[in-house]
Amino acid sequence: MKIGITCYPTYGGSGVVATELGLALAALGHQVHFISYAIPHRLNKFFENVFFHEVELSTYPLFEHSLYDLALTSKMLEVIDFEELDLMHVHYAIPHAVSAYLARQVLRRTNKNLKFITTLHGTDITLVGLEPSFMPLVKFSIEESDGVTTVSRFLKEKTLTNYNIEKDIEVIYNFIDIEKFKPNQSDLFRKHIAPNGEKVLVHTSNFRIVKRVTDTIRVLEKVKKEVPAKLVLVGDGPDRSECERLARELDIHKDVVFLGKQDGLTEILNAADIFLMPSQSESFGLSALEAMACGVPVVSSSVGGLPELNIHNETGYIAEIGDIDRMAKYVIELLTNEKRYKSFSKNSRERAVKNFDKNLIVPKYVAYYEKILKS
Ligand code: GMT
């Protein structure tokens, strides 16, 4: 197949999933054309069957705000025409599904048929999509998509109920490269971060308020009263300054390591004992899956799709949003019970391998593409 993929290229898990999916499809022999305003950051070298088309934004004195949605539509039309795409697969509803819809309508004028599939990832449904100015368009573009997938059962339910939609939605879970994200014995990074044998808690995110990163610092404060521990925070975003401030206020800043944005995630995860995900909203939790694949148990909140990923008392623990005491209690319990820790660590890796391996999930997308193309 010749597939066009549009995603947010530089920010967040939806872009990671879209890029890894495109690369996996290309490795299977499909031709993949990424269409976006910047090159997705995991497309950092030459890959056979992968092409990138940059959406250029024209400036004109009248256009005080950039017309990205329209420029994206035009670029889609150009690529669909020149490259004879079979299908567009857009990730994140706003504005990508709307642009794909527009492209399809334009093509209908010339009797050309284009199918487009929308994958919903999270806040496009649970947060920003609900804003009154976006809601009608999100509903419309979902209803008009030839196929719709969500990354969890939770997100499917939310889509149907929040937008009052009646449509077949396919749940296709996020996936992981289990050969890349795997346990390894190298302890170089751990020695650097925790030179005195402290336990290591890790959190990675884009530091948006919705991630509740400050909770990880409050959890560390409580854990440290029982077990010597460090907290490694990976990523950057709006809430980082508040986190830095809080670590100082609680006088634990020497034990909180802010690494900023990092590419070498597997080394960091392999130095971790526990992964923390205290989010206020999380449709799936891709970074928790990355940790699990490295054999790191997860202590998370109970929101959204997290219980579909992190199984309470098996791969980690789940607590109510903001219940710092309980999260800290769970962390201490795991860090002080070696037998339980080992079994949770093994279960985490096994769950990632059995349920979320790229080689299991990518064929589900291929089968879905074929189904939609035939419909
Ligand atoms: O919806 C978002 O906040 C953006 C999106 C992203 O680009 O990071 O995140 C969502 O998609 C990820 C990949 O499918 C999921 O793993 C995240 O759980 C989800 N984020 C939220 O639901 C907050």
Does one domain contain both 202 and 297?
yes
Does one domain contain both 244 and 317?
yes
> Is the shortest distance between the CB of 14 and ligand 1 below 6 Å?
yes
**What is the structure's pLDDT at 111?**
87
Does one domain contain both 351 and 263?
yes
Give alpha helix (H) positions in 296-337: 306-309, 324-335
Query: Domain containing 31: what range?
Result: 2-175+357-374
Does one domain contain both 76 and 160?
yes
The structure tokens listed for 260 are: 């900023």
Question: Which domain CATH number covers 348?
Answer: 3.40.50.2000
Domain contains 180: no
Does one domain contain both 247 and 170?
no
> Is the shortest distance between the CB of 17 and ligand 1 below 6 Å?
yes
> Is the shortest distance between the CB of 129 and ligand 1 below 6 Å?
no
**What is the structure's pLDDT at 350?**
98
Does one domain contain both 138 and 283?
no
**What is the structure's pLDDT at 49?**
98
- Counting as low any pLDDT under 70, the low residues of the chain are none
> Is the shortest distance between the CB of 121 and ligand 1 below 6 Å?
yes
**What is the structure's pLDDT at 89?**
98
Displacement of CA 347 from its chain's centroid (Å):
22
Q: Identify the H or E element spanning 100.
A: helix 96-108
Number of compact structural domains in the chain: 2
> Is the shortest distance between the CB of 306 and ligand 1 below 6 Å?
no
Closest-CA residue, ligand 1 atom 12, reads: 13
Domain contains 161: yes
Residues 170 and 146: their CA atoms lie apart, in Å, by 12
Domain contains 80: yes
Strands (E), the chain: 2-6, 31-36, 50-54, 87-91, 115-120, 147-150, 170-171, 199-204, 229-234, 256-260, 274-277, 298-301, 316-319
Q: Identify the H or E element spanning 250.
A: none
> Is the shortest distance between the CB of 331 and ligand 1 below 6 Å?
no
How close is the Cα of 110 to the center of ligand 1, in Å?
Answer: 36
Tell me the whole-structure pTM to 2 decimals: 0.95
How close is the Cα of 370 to the center of ligand 1, in Å?
Answer: 26
Does one domain contain both 199 and 329?
yes
Does one domain contain both 362 and 339?
no
Domain contains 181: no
**What is the structure's pLDDT at 188?**
85
Does one domain contain both 280 and 167?
no
Does one domain contain both 36 and 138?
yes
Does one domain contain both 245 and 302?
yes
**What is the structure's pLDDT at 64?**
87
Domain contains 145: yes
Does one domain contain both 167 and 313?
no
How close is the Cα of 215 to the center of ligand 1, in Å?
Answer: 19
Domain contains 350: yes
What letter does residue 229 receive in the DSSP assignment? E
How close is the Cα of 333 to the center of ligand 1, in Å?
Answer: 29
**What is the structure's pLDDT at 44?**
86
